[in-house]
Amino acid sequence: MTYKNFTVETDSDGIALVTWDMPDRSMNVFTEEVMDELEAIVDAIAADADIKGAVITSGKETFSGGADLTMLQKMLGLFEKEKAQDREKAVKRLFEAAGRMSWLWRKLETSGKPWVSAINGTCMGGAFELSLACHGRVAADTDAVKMALPEVKVGIFPGAGGTQRVPRLANTQEALQMLTTGQTLSPGKAKAMGLVHEVVPPRRLVEAAKKMIRDGLKPTQPWDEKGFKLPGGPVYSPAGANLWPAAIAILRRETYGNYPAATAILKCVYEGLLVPFDTALRIEQRYFTEILQRREAAAMIRSLFVSLQELNKGARRPRDVPATKLRKVGVLGAGFMGAGIAYVTARAGIPVVLIDRDQESAEKGKAHSAALMDKLIKKGRATQAEKEKLLSLITATADYSALEGANLVIEAVFEDSEIKRTAIEQAEAVLKSSAVFASNTSTIPITGLAKNSKRPRNFIGIHFFSPVDKMMLVEIILGKKTGEKALAVAMDYARAIRKTPIVVNDTRGFYVNRCVLRYMQEAYSMLIEGVPAPMIENAAKMAGMPVGPLALTDETAIDLAQKIMRQTIRDLGEKAVDPRHMALIDTMVDTHGRRGRKNGKGFYDYPEKPAKKHLWPGLKELYPQKAPESLNVEQLKARFLYVIALEAARVMEEGIVTDPREADVGSILAFGFAPYTGGALSYIDGIGAAAFVARAKRLQKKYGKQFKPPRLLLEMAEKGETFYTRFAPEGADRVREAA
Question: Whole-angstrom Cα distance, residue 57 to residue 245?
Answer: 40
Question: Whole-angstrom Cα distance, residue 165 to residue 163?
Answer: 6
Instruction: Compute the CA torsion angle 174, 175, 177, 183 (nearest 10 deg).
Output: 110
Domains of the chain: residue spans and CATH? 6-293 (3.90.226.10), 329-510 (3.40.50.720), 513-726 (1.10.1040.50)
Q: Running DSSP on this structure, what letter comes out for residue 591?
A: I
* pLDDT recorded at residue 414: 87
Question: Whole-angstrom Cα distance, residue 290 to residue 285?
Answer: 9
Q: What is the DSSP string of 180-196?
A: HHT-EE-HHHHHHHTS-
* pLDDT recorded at residue 730: 60
- The CB density around residue 507, as the number of other CB atoms within 10 Å, is 18
Does the CA dihedral 36-37-40-42 come out positive or negative?
Answer: negative
CB environment 309-335: b (16+ within 10 A), e (fewer): ebbbebbbbeeebeebebebbbbbbbe
Please answer whether residues 330 and 409 qualify as being in contact, where contact means their C-beta atoms are separated by less than 8 angstroms.
yes
Question: Whole-angstrom Cα distance, residue 76 to residue 221?
Answer: 33
**Catalytic site residue from 135, 197, 463, 581:** 463
* pLDDT recorded at residue 77: 81
Residue 92 backbone phi and psi in degrees, to 5: -65, -45
* pLDDT recorded at residue 417: 84
Angle at 521 between CA 499 and CA 676, to 5 degrees: 50
Side-by-side strand order, sheet with 352-355: 394-397, 352-355, 329-332, 408-411, 436-439, 459-463, 473-478, 500-505
CB environment 587-622: b (16+ within 10 A), e (fewer): ebbeeeebbbbeeebbbbbbeeeeeeeebbeebeeb
For the chain, how far is it from start to end, CA to CA, in angstroms? Answer: 44
* pLDDT recorded at residue 444: 84
Does the CA dihedral 490-495-501-503 come out positive or negative?
Answer: positive
Question: Whole-angstrom Cα distance, residue 636 to residue 535?
Answer: 9
In sequence order, the β-bridge partners of residue 59 are none
Residue of 183, 189, 175 lying closest to 268 (CA atoms): 175
Task: Clarify whether 581 is annotated catalytic.
Answer: no
Side-by-side strand order, sheet with 147-148: 123-124, 147-148, 184-185
- The region, left, alpha or beta by phi > 0 then psi within -120 to 50, assigned to residue 119 is beta
* pLDDT recorded at residue 708: 98
Instruction: Compute the CA torsion angle 83, 88, 93, 95 (nearest 10 deg).
Output: 110
pTM of the model: 0.91
Q: CA gyration radius for the chain? A: 28
Instruction: Compute the CA torsion angle 708, 714, 720, 724 (nearest 10 deg).
Output: -70
How many Å separate Cα 321 from the centre of its chain?
A: 29
Does the CA dihedral 269-275-279-283 come out positive or negative?
Answer: negative
Please answer whether residues 684 and 695 qualify as being in contact, where contact means their C-beta atoms are separated by less than 8 angstroms.
no
Q: Running DSSP on this structure, what letter comes out for residue 142?
A: S
Give how far Cα 10 sits from Cα of 17, 55, 115, 218, 296, Å: 6, 10, 13, 19, 45
| Cβ-Cβ contacts under 8 Å for 152 (sequence gap 6 or more) | 179, 180, 181, 182, 259, 261, 262, 265
Question: Whole-angstrom Cα distance, residue 534 to residue 593?
Answer: 21
* pLDDT recorded at residue 567: 83
- The CB density around residue 573, as the number of other CB atoms within 10 Å, is 9
Question: Whole-angstrom Cα distance, residue 181 to residue 150?
Answer: 7
- The CB density around residue 703, as the number of other CB atoms within 10 Å, is 17
- The CB density around residue 78, as the number of other CB atoms within 10 Å, is 15
Please answer whether residues 330 and 427 qualify as being in contact, where contact means their C-beta atoms are separated by less than 8 angstroms.
yes
User: If the chain, 739 residues long, is cut into consecutive pieces of 10 residues, what is the mean pLDDT of each piece?
Assistant: 94 97 93 95 97 97 89 82 89 92 97 97 96 98 95 95 97 96 96 97 97 96 95 93 95 94 97 97 97 94 92 92 94 95 97 96 97 94 94 97 96 89 94 94 88 94 93 95 96 96 89 94 97 97 96 92 89 91 96 94 93 95 95 97 98 95 96 96 97 98 97 97 88 36
CB environment 126-154: b (16+ within 10 A), e (fewer): bbbbbbbbbbbbbbbbeeebbbbbbbbbb
Please answer whether residues 400 and 355 qualify as being in contact, where contact means their C-beta atoms are separated by less than 8 angstroms.
yes
Neighbour-count burial of 476, counting CB atoms closer than 10 A to its CB (0-12 exposed, 13-18 middle, 19+ buried) = buried
Q: What is residue 19's three-state secondary structure? A: strand
Residue 278 backbone phi and psi in degrees, to 5: -60, -40
Q: Is the peptide bond before 549 cis (omega within 30 degrees of 0)?
A: no
| Cβ-Cβ contacts under 8 Å for 289 (sequence gap 6 or more) | 91, 94, 95, 98
Q: What is residue 431's three-state secondary structure? A: coil
Question: Whole-angstrom Cα distance, residue 600 to residue 372?
Answer: 23
Question: Whole-angstrom Cα distance, residue 143 to residue 234?
Answer: 35
In sequence order, the β-bridge partners of residue 252 are none
Please answer whether residues 719 and 302 qualify as being in contact, where contact means their C-beta atoms are separated by less than 8 angstroms.
no
Neighbour-count burial of 6, counting CB atoms closer than 10 A to its CB (0-12 exposed, 13-18 middle, 19+ buried) = buried
Neighbour-count burial of 657, counting CB atoms closer than 10 A to its CB (0-12 exposed, 13-18 middle, 19+ buried) = buried
